[in-house]
Structure 1
Amino acid sequence: MADPFYITTAISYPNGRPHIGHAYEAIATDVIARFQRQMGRDVFFLTGTDEHGLKMAQTARDRGVTPHELATEMSSLFKAMDDRLEISYDRFIRTTEAEHHAASQEIWRRMEANGDIYLDRYEGWYSVRDEAYYDEKELTVAETGEKLSPQGTPVEWTVEESWFFRLSKYQEPLLAYYAANPDFIRPEARRNEVVRFVEGGLSDLSISRTSFDWGVKVPGSDNHVMYVWVDALTNYLTGAGFPDDTARYERFWPADVHIIGKDIIRFHAVYWPAFLMSAKLPLPKQVFGHGFLLHRGEKMSKSLGNVVDPLDLADTFGVDPLRYFLLREVTFGQDGSYSAEAIVNRVNADLANSFGNLAQRTLSFIAKNCEGVVPTGGKGDAADDALLAQVSEAAAEMRAAFNDLGLSQGIEAWLKAVFACNQYIDAQAPWTLRKTDPDRMIAVLGTLYVAIRDLAIIIAPVIPGSAAKLLDQMGIPAGERTHDVIGDRSGVESLAISGFRLSAPTPIFPRLELPAEADA
């Protein structure tokens, strides 16, 4: 049986429409999931929406609808974004599902049974926007005198009865766990940030509210609803079948990696492992906090008027070009920037001019000069083997990089092989060989056919629709699109034997034009 691989995004808070940051996280996670499927893993990819909490209740009240009506409407927008961007999730979870409420109440009971939950009175600073509590020492003061959270959001003094979690009890166990598992939090900057925070001391955490009722009911205390982060984080367990589907749970938990934004690293790398330790459940293997996506170097905000709808970008530039740009341009784990000009320039240079042109001129030449018969045999030489070796080496580099979540580095390795193929076709000049040495031409074209197939296969997780169209045109069977075939000529040779004929190819990567509005 294939090895399991469980990967998640953070679930999105749907009190507003999805933005490019949501799209970036979904695309990056999808690429990792698709790559692991190519590697033969039994992948389970979870994403969804986090629908409880005070923000949702307030937004619904302001709009004159129920919180559930708002959640259903907005969740559908996030699901539509995922579907439009070819996100290959296995489950889109909603925290309003009965199954999730049951999982959240079960982890609560286990933490309570461990003596880690007690009733007290909460007095302190709370940010509605962050759904987070903050110590006085963490706050800053605006020029207006208003107190702000570390994220720059307003805080308000809150007083109410609350259930508390003994987070302070887990300070040393967490630090010991980080030390014993240095790859638990990545990249290193996130790990260092979390370790410093925990070393600074942990206070017990208020984990219920009585001032509103939109959330998961606390077991045995129905006038309390769970603090949204207890409920939200538990979605990862719900997706794995906890607590009732034991076969599924034993197969997929612990998760291999949570892909999240760096602004919620504390919840995932401090609170979440502490909850799991308390409930005596295994911790996820890794939490990876990616950076922010900036628009022309600026953080997006409604006040600046630079919030971009990811579906508008997909409509303007195409889904695969957008996916490619975000993962090629931004070093995964660091902040990155995008603009219309940057997308057009990168996609035209890498996909249209380099890979697209390589495929189009090679396949067109075969369709026209070989009557569409896939070229095999011919007069080979060392240059042919050297090229396929370079492509195989690039595939190996890409596998290593993607396994380590080095997405842009993996794409760079692929691009080096694309450049090598373009240098090879220019040096071999099959259009000249057609007259001077037809046998040599056949060997060159056959080598290029194998190389283009291999390049399409290894970039497929990034640009799945485009790669599939190219491989379809080339007659490559669906079952022969894994890394196992890289460098192997036999599959291409069997195409020729089967009588497959290559039709005049359709360009896969047309050149992009800059929209009339430069910031479209």
Structure 2
Amino acid sequence: MPKIHITTPIFYPNAKPHLGHFYTLALTDVQTRFNKLRYFNVANNKVKFTTGTDEHGLKIQNAAAKLNLDTQKFVDQLSLTFKDLCVQSNINYDRFIRTTDKDHMHEVKEFWRACSKDMCTGEHKGWYSISDETFYPENFVKEVLPDGKIVPIEKEFDYTTITDTRKFINTDTNNQVKYSIEENYFFKLENYRHQLIDHIENNPDFIQPKKYSVSLLNLLKSGPLSNLSISRPSQRLNWAIPVPENASQSIYVWFDALCNYLTVLGSLEDIRDSANEAHEFMKNTTHVIGKDIIKFHCIYWPIFLMSANLPLPKRVVVHSHWLNDGVKMSKSLGNVVDPIEYLATYDTDSMKWSILHNSCIENDGNFKDTYLKDTRNGILVNKLCNLVSRSSKKFDPSTAINYWQPIFRQNSNNLVVVLESIKDNASMSQVISKNICEIEQILNWLEKNYAKQMESFNYQMITTKLVNLLDLTNEIFQEMAPWSIKNESEFNKRDLALFLANDVVRIFSIYAQPILPDITDKLFKVLLVPTNESKDLALCKLGHGSSYGKRYENGLNIISRVI
């Protein structure tokens, strides 16, 4: 099977982690766990997940200087906050890379040399944003007047003569910009524009969702690409990797940062070698990024790789951002969501399910506090865990499972036979037979679509189907009221409710474990489902797997409610 590599962008640690960082990590962690689940029974299954911190650049340099701190010690502390977010969020990465790592700094210089044939030097004039570490064209720049009014800049005015008292911003991120003139190295992006267009057109899944692929193609076809500045004068930016053979220049932070995706796989020679594992990982790489950094990953990065004669990643998956109760998050408004704060109250599984169940990658998410409590108490406690608790305190579910499991397994593709066996029972309502049919429909849909939807990051579609399963099963349990059945002639009916409660939870847990690894692990242990069966998607049918189940006379508290 192909080796699979899944990445987050490496995060710039100039501020503490926010909900956007958690979201990217959650999307990527779930994709990693899904692939490990999908290929659990496949020999040589290898899935690599990498994340990290981007620690060079002028923002870091200035922040450390302002605090009178050694810059390396400063970033050592900053990176720990993102590592802590990963620990608190149960993010199971294979490597946390830092751009200050020695092997990375070596590979960046090698990558620079590999791309040097497409570089030139020249004077760079323009509006530079320290916050964004990039230049903006003048049509993206406006002046903020002392009264707060924002006006366009004057096209013919010589802005090299202005004082620092005047304030200018870019209209892309609204961060401050200053007019700058400097000598830089430039990369000739135009050399590969047509090659990139061909690649995107011949690989329609290269950029997902499709709307981003369409917009980028339109941009690439609209005309030549300007040369890209890829260095800064070391006199201004010294906290960076020096340009090979020219220490007067520092490598542009984005050129440095993008190279992390190579460093985590091995040397450039290994990645070029089609017989090497690193080559296969690179060809099967999925980059998961926010929509604000799409041009760096979908234009600059593939062009750099083409220049260096390296394989391109399989795809770049772009996700949208988050609002807080309908309002854009910002430090000035004080409405930035701190994931660590919420993780202290709600476990990581609840947090992941809540965020992924209430969002999709194409549209901006809208965070609400109520999502977390609704997920924890309403779905995971009341609908999921209670099915197991209610069916195992007063009853021995293993008896019910042993009776009904073979009946459902033998008729797994024809539940009409099962329904025929119970329809003559006068106390068996229409709700029960209808719900059993709907459960079967959902399970058939999941069997056909689960892998495709998970691979496409359509997690919300999967979580919705799984919650529907719980709703239908809970409705059956309430309707059948097994605690009220005292007549021995109706014990099979009672046992049907117990079997369905446990088997739906078993199937739910197999499908949900990439999102809920901790809770589903507890459920598998409580249900006595063997480890190899808990990882087998082929057993996600009613009545499949070996016997399981146990009575817990003292009750169960798998996870607790949050008040």
Same-fold status (TM-score > 0.5): yes
Alignment-derived partner of residue 499 in structure 2? 446
Alignment-derived partner of residue 405 in structure 1? 457
In 2, the alpha carbon distance for the partners of 1:354 and 1:66 equals: 52
Structure 2 matches for 1:60-459, cutoff 5 A?
60-112=64-116, 115-142=117-144, 143-144=149-150, 146-149=167-170, 150-198=172-220, 199-210=222-233, 211-243=236-268, 245=270, 247-364=276-393, 368-370=394-396, 375-377=401-403, 381-382=418-419, 386=437, 389-390=440-441, 392-396=443-447, 397-436=449-488, 437-459=490-512
Alignment-derived partner of residue 11 in structure 2? 12
Change (3 A) 1:36 1:270: same
Which amino acid is 2:539 matched to? V
Q: RMSD over aligned Cα, in angstroms?
A: 2.3
Report the secondary structure of 2:361's partner residue.
coil
Per-residue CA deviations over 1:396-425 (Å, capped at 9, x if unaligned) read 233331122111111112112222222332
Report the secondary structure of 2:183's partner residue.
strand
User: Any conservation in 1 of the 2:185–2:230 contact (CA below 8 Å)?
Assistant: yes
User: Any conservation in 1 of the 2:24–2:289 contact (CA below 8 Å)?
Assistant: yes
Which amino acid is 1:208 matched to? S
TM-score (norm 1): 0.90
Bigger shift: residues 206-215 or 227-236: 206-215
In 2, the alpha carbon distance for the partners of 1:471 and 1:3 equals: 29
In 1, the alpha carbon distance for the partners of 2:337 and 2:497 equals: 46
User: Any conservation in 2 of the 1:6–1:43 contact (CA below 8 Å)?
Assistant: yes
Matched, 1:462 2:515: yes
Alignment-derived partner of residue 518 in structure 1? none
Report the secondary structure of 2:329's partner residue.
coil
User: Any conservation in 1 of the 2:395–2:551 contact (CA below 8 Å)?
Assistant: no
Residue 467 of structure 1 deviates from its aligned partner by: 1.3
Number of residues of Structure 1 aligned to a counterpart in Structure 2: 503
**Bigger Rg over Cα:** 2
Per-residue CA deviations over 1:187-218 (Å, capped at 9, x if unaligned) read 23322332343325421011011122211221
Per-residue CA deviations over 1:458-484 (Å, capped at 9, x if unaligned) read 111112111111111111222221213
User: Any conservation in 1 of the 2:350–2:375 contact (CA below 8 Å)?
Assistant: no
Change (3 A) 1:501 1:342: closer
Q: Which runs of 5+ in 2 are unaligned?
A: 40-44, 152-166, 408-417, 420-432
Residue 450 of structure 1 deviates from its aligned partner by: 2.1
Which amino acid is 1:506 matched to? L
Change (3 A) 1:469 1:354: same
Which amino acid is 1:234 matched to? C
User: Which of these residues, 55, 59, 62, is aligned with residue 55 of structure 1?
Assistant: 59
Residue 165 of structure 1 deviates from its aligned partner by: 0.4
In 2, the alpha carbon distance for the partners of 1:406 and 1:439 equals: 39
Change (3 A) 1:433 1:239: same
Matched, 1:512 2:554: no
In 2, the alpha carbon distance for the partners of 1:152 and 1:323 equals: 30
In 2, the alpha carbon distance for the partners of 1:335 and 1:126 equals: 28
Matched, 1:24 2:19: no
In 1, the alpha carbon distance for the partners of 2:463 and 2:312 equals: 31
User: Any conservation in 2 of the 1:373–1:502 contact (CA below 8 Å)?
Assistant: no
In 2, the alpha carbon distance for the partners of 1:430 and 1:241 equals: 59
Which amino acid is 1:177 matched to? H
User: Any conservation in 2 of the 1:53–1:131 contact (CA below 8 Å)?
Assistant: yes
In 2, the alpha carbon distance for the partners of 1:245 and 1:277 equals: 16
In 2, the alpha carbon distance for the partners of 1:326 and 1:490 equals: 31
Residue 239 of structure 1 deviates from its aligned partner by: 1.2
In 1, the alpha carbon distance for the partners of 2:60 and 2:94 equals: 26
User: Any conservation in 1 of the 2:377–2:561 contact (CA below 8 Å)?
Assistant: yes
In 1, the alpha carbon distance for the partners of 2:246 and 2:450 equals: 52
User: Any conservation in 2 of the 1:54–1:128 contact (CA below 8 Å)?
Assistant: yes
Alignment-derived partner of residue 155 in structure 2? none
Per-residue CA deviations over 1:253-274 (Å, capped at 9, x if unaligned) read 1243111111111110111011
Report the secondary structure of 2:123's partner residue.
strand
Residue 293 of structure 1 deviates from its aligned partner by: 1.1
User: Any conservation in 2 of the 1:24–1:326 contact (CA below 8 Å)?
Assistant: yes
Residue 439 of structure 1 deviates from its aligned partner by: 3.4
In 2, the alpha carbon distance for the partners of 1:280 and 1:158 equals: 33
Structure 2 matches for 1:470-485, cutoff 5 A?
470-482=523-535, 483-485=537-539
In 1, the alpha carbon distance for the partners of 2:181 and 2:286 equals: 36
In 1, the alpha carbon distance for the partners of 2:321 and 2:339 equals: 15
In 1, the alpha carbon distance for the partners of 2:445 and 2:471 equals: 11
TM-score (norm 2): 0.84
In 2, the alpha carbon distance for the partners of 1:75 and 1:354 equals: 39
Residue 302 of structure 1 deviates from its aligned partner by: 1.1
In 2, the alpha carbon distance for the partners of 1:140 and 1:173 equals: 35
Residue 111 of structure 1 deviates from its aligned partner by: 0.9
Alignment-derived partner of residue 517 in structure 1? none
Residue 378 of structure 1 deviates from its aligned partner by: 5.2
Residue 127 of structure 1 deviates from its aligned partner by: 0.9
Q: Which runs of 5+ in 1 are unaligned?
A: 514-520
Residue 509 of structure 1 deviates from its aligned partner by: 4.2
User: Which of these residues, 545, 549, 557, is aligned with residue 491 of structure 1?
Assistant: 545
Identity within the alignment, %: 32
Per-residue CA deviations over 1:327-366 (Å, capped at 9, x if unaligned) read 00011231011121233234433323322332321233xx
Report the secondary structure of 2:556's partner residue.
coil
In 1, the alpha carbon distance for the partners of 2:398 and 2:277 equals: 48
In 2, the alpha carbon distance for the partners of 1:222 and 1:509 equals: 57
Which amino acid is 2:227 matched to? D
In 2, the alpha carbon distance for the partners of 1:505 and 1:458 equals: 25
User: Any conservation in 1 of the 2:2–2:284 contact (CA below 8 Å)?
Assistant: no
User: Any conservation in 2 of the 1:110–1:279 contact (CA below 8 Å)?
Assistant: yes
Residue 102 of structure 1 deviates from its aligned partner by: 1.7
Residue 26 of structure 1 deviates from its aligned partner by: 0.4
User: Any conservation in 2 of the 1:167–1:205 contact (CA below 8 Å)?
Assistant: yes
User: Any conservation in 2 of the 1:398–1:411 contact (CA below 8 Å)?
Assistant: no
